[in-house]
Chains A and B, each alone.
Chain A
Amino acid sequence: MSVSTSRRGFLKGAAASAAAVLVIGAAPSGVMAATNGFDTTMLNPFVRIASDGTVTAIVKHFEKGQGPATGLTTLIAEELGVSMEAIEYEFAPSNPKLYNNTAFGPFQGTGGSTAMFNSFLQYRQAGAAAREVLLQAASQAWELPVEQLKLEDGVIIGGGETAPLGEFVQAASQLEAPENPRLKDPSEFKLIGNASIHRKDTPPKVNGTAKYAMDIQLDDQMVVAVKRAMRRGALAVSFDDSAALSVKGFIRAAMLPNKAGVVVYADDTWAALQARDAIEVTWDYSAAESRSSEDVYKELMAAVNSEPEYNLTKNDQGTVAAAIENADKVVEETFYFPLLAHAPMEPLTCTIEPTQDGGVVLHDGSQMPTSPHMVLSKVLQLPMEKVQINTMFAGGSFGRRATPTVDYQTEAALAFAMTDRSRPVKLVWSREDDITGGYYRPAFAHKVRVGLDSTGNIVGWDHRVAGQSIAKGTPFEAFAVHDGIDDMSVEGVTPTPYSIPGMFAGLTDTKAATSVLWWRSVGHTHTAYVMETMMDATAAAAGRDPVEFRLAHLSGDVPEQKRMANVLKLAAEKGNWGKAAEGRSQGIAVHSSFRSYVAEVVEISGDAEAGVKIEKVTCAVDCGIPVNPDVIKAQMEGGIGYGLGHAMRDEITLEEGEVVQSNFPDYEPLRIGDIGEIETHIVLSTEAPTGVGEPGTPPSAPALANAIAVKGPRVTELPMVNAGVNFA
């Protein structure tokens, strides 16, 4: 992991003011420059301190609810020596030199559950380096050896002297930043691992003052809505806006230069949505998708019943097939997973605001600021420094705000470019736009055959996967595709922490049916379901307990097996595995994703016929050092709910190329009454922190499926309601 708190990365002496301008200047005025009337000093790219002692952490990851506004701020506060109450935060401007995701390379962005993973050392070092220059400045002023001084709760104290840290900020900024500041030993942590720390973003989200991109209200702004093709690949030929003319507030309509749709400009959101609905567009469907979900289903099923395109394992397919043929018992299942929409609570939106100097500010819940920064620069033909990104709160994402085509920001840029650039342009997507507007978890099929010997041990595991690659043909191909294999299609099958004797796995890419994208936990959304329901089915065929059977394949002396076995045992213990209350059934699943390990026990009442009710979920997670335990718990709760809700009843289907579902009534979100208590147990680890945003999702659906299978069907095609499962 590269860490950018080197001497060169720090701002010091005469360079400090110029560099501070660079940092601050890259943000919209009024956002980064808010100073409460006090002089402020950047001690490094991540720490700004005002002369009144107010510390501000510059957070490089956007906040979509997963917690970096709290987490990265905690790291700074811990090492600097201030309380959580005495530190504020703001989102970093777009500057991949300073604020890149070190797990991604020279690119600023959030994803893959990497926020804490890639920031843990970087932000601690930034906090520690700021502390050391402040102590040095105090040491010089007081003529005391620096070893006698310490910084605690915002106060520098020692040798009979005491002063608030703000007093030495100016002097500290003139000092050379230490190359290797001393980091606290974990035994000294007061904030990291402290379960009583509250989220920094709670207050504005409880009183309605939190600002999301949807909340941008600029003087004289236009709101635009876009009439898009309902079938992927269709092109607009012409449009008739005569019916829109009677909509009060309608300004005009214009064809997008890429013919992807018609932009409607209006004075406000309601007018834009009304006028958009009134526009008639003639489409050219000659290159458009025309298949239905049944066709996609047939293609995927044919693919898993044929020779795979790519071999994922070194084992010889014939040898594995022979072992299964000669097995005492064979367990075979075929699985299907439908397209899924992300449907973040805040529909997609962003605003392009012209600035006095001929540049623009993009107000956006920006998941990957580097991408829209480049797109706006190109589309609007502006130098990069004339494009600023104001990252705002995002009302959820689940992957949707990070697309290879930078879809909604590009649309906004094209819409802005077709104006005289004097008025801000706010693009608003409706919920219907969101559900029908492309980018889905791809549909996947799996077929698995497992052979068992007479003692109930696996002798062969043949695993075929087929689906549409997320990365191929996109700018993400270079990092996600290796030897033709999109890692995101198979992660969780290969690699798997399980030791499975005689495993063969193969992948077949299928034709593009629609635009597909990572969806909270990406490939693990289907691979964990298959691995963990197959583990259960195989254990049942072997007459063995599902926990014992899994542990038998996790007995190696390697960290990934030990950690996976550990969370499995912890969830089983805390979830009273094997001791379900009267009338209840339990299911268990364990999975590793994004370097973390999560096991879940789902306890249900009822059955598939009478109606299943999810009574309780017990979760065990090992994500390395738990930085904000309560945020980790919240992410497990959210990840579990997200996984369960979609597995229960959601799918996106195509009919002659058009998406059938359009809004929440037919893409029904998990509701409060659908799920009972979730209890999360966190492993006390000393390993480096790893992801929590996504890893809670993968085990949830298979654990539910395994609980349903105790008294009912083994569900192999999702959503579960399609397989005849009723929910109470």
Chain B
Amino acid sequence: MAISIKLNGETHKVDAEPGTPLLWVIRDHLKLTGTKFGCGVASCGACTVHLDGEPVRSCQTYIEDVEDAEVTTIEGLKSTPAQAVQQAWTELDVVQCGYCQSGQIMSAVGLLIENPKPTVDEIDEYMDGNACRCATYQRIRTAIVRASDIMEA
């Protein structure tokens, strides 16, 4: 089935069956690999992308449901909150293995768009669905606070 998808501002035609997760369309059809496969059941957040500006788990979002939406991946981030988050992540060397970090960053950006000055409890609550097996959580928390400060400056 030919489906049109708007990804990072560009429209692509892809040939995928209904029920195909957006994750695999992004990775295997469009060859953008910054969005990661971690669990396939929306319980780790490594596959987080933005759908019309809101974080969703692309492994549980189906291609037929995104036809009219704007999909943004880590490769297409350019908003002010996104730049602040990536700067904070860089300053604090948040990453270790790095595999979950695209998803962490996509969620963090979603949080700061919705709530530019989150408390620590709000950060913990919002980021709860993004697992990091390297346990970089303390730096993620600090980096989100730092990104919030960068945005304010």
**Chain A residues within 8 Å of B, Cβ to Cβ:** 63-67, 198-199, 201-212, 214-215, 217, 223, 248, 268-270, 273, 343-347, 393-396, 398, 430-432, 630, 634, 637-638, 640-642, 645, 663-665, 669-675, 677-678
Contacts and interface: CB of A to CB of B under 8 A. Distances in A.
Nearest to B87: A206
26 contacts: A63-B97, A65-B98, A66-B96, A201-B95, A202-B89, A204-B98, A206-B105, A207-B86, A208-B102, A209-B75, A211-B33, A212-B99, A269-B37, A345-B38, A345-B97, A346-B36, A396-B96, A430-B40, A431-B38, A640-B135, A641-B134, A641-B137, A663-B39, A669-B131, A669-B132, A672-B140
Contacts of A215: 27, 33
Contact of B28 (A270, A344, A394, A664): A270
Contacts of B36: 212, 214, 345-346, 395
Interface in B72-89: 73-75, 86, 89
A719 B46 CA distance: 26
A146 to B, nearest CB: 38
B17 to A, nearest CB: 5
In the A-B complex, the 8 residue pairs with the closest CB atoms = A641-B135, A208-B34, A395-B99, A205-B98, A65-B96, A65-B97, A208-B74, A215-B33
Contacts of B43: 663-665
Nearest to B123: A672
Contacts of A207: 34, 74-75, 86
Interface residues of B, number: 54
A203 B75 CA distance: 13
A641 B134 CA distance: 8
Nearest to A249: B17
Contact of B133 (A273, A398, A634): A398
Main secondary structure of the interface of B (DSSP, over half): loop
A202 B33 contact: no
A671 B39 CA distance: 15
B127 interface: yes
Interface string B29-69: 10101111111110110100000000000000000000000
B6 interface: no
A675 B140 CA distance: 12
Contacts of B21: 270
A678 B93 CA distance: 15
A273 B130 CA distance: 23
A394 B21 CA distance: 24
Given A268-B24, A394-B97, A203 B37 contact: no
A210 B34 CA distance: 8
Interface in B110-153: 123-125, 127-128, 130-141
A650 to B, nearest CB: 11
Nearest to B85: A206
Contacts of A268: 24, 28-29
Interface centre among B38, B90, B135 (most CB of A within 10 A): B135
A347 B38 contact: yes
B148 to A, nearest CB: 16
Contacts of B127: 672
Given A395-B36, A669-B131, 11 more contacts: A198-B90, A207-B75, A217-B31, A345-B100, A393-B99, A396-B96, A431-B40, A634-B93, A664-B39, A672-B141, A673-B128
Nearest to A204: B98
A282 B139 CA distance: 48
A319 to B, nearest CB: 45
A205 B130 CA distance: 16
B11 interface: no
Nearest to B44: A664
A718 B39 CA distance: 25
Contacts of B95: 65, 199, 201-202, 205-206
